[in-house]
């Protein structure tokens, strides 16, 4: 019996298990990369916010800003 080949069902289940494991690894990698992208975007947003404040201050000093601000 030890020399008998695995059943087709077991062979298919092993392939499914291998593919599932690869997909889990890929998902982990994607989550890590997405976190890096989000952190980078947050940094860009902070810089843009600071620039906006600086531009508003410059416009105010040069009396270029609208009276509605």
The domain spans of the chain are 1-69
Q: Cα–Cα distance between 69 and 52 in angstroms, integer?
A: 13
Residue where the block lists tokens 């092993």:
14
Average pLDDT, whole number, for the chain? Answer: 90
Q: Cα–Cα distance between 27 and 20 in angstroms, integer?
A: 10
pLDDT at 46: 97
The answer to whether the beta carbons of residues 65 and 56 sit under 8 Å apart is yes
Q: Which is higher by pLDDT, 2 or 14? A: 14
For the whole model, what pTM was predicted? 0.62
């Amino acid at each position: 019996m030890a020399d008998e080949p695995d059943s087709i069902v077991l062979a298919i289940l092993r392939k499914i298990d291998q593919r599932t494991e690869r997909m889990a690894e890929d998902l982990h990698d994607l989550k890590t990369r997405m976190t890096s992208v989000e952190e980078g975007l947050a940094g860009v947003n902070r810089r843009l916010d600071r620039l906006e404040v600086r531009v508003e201050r410059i416009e105010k000093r040069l009396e270029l800003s609208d009276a509605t601000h």
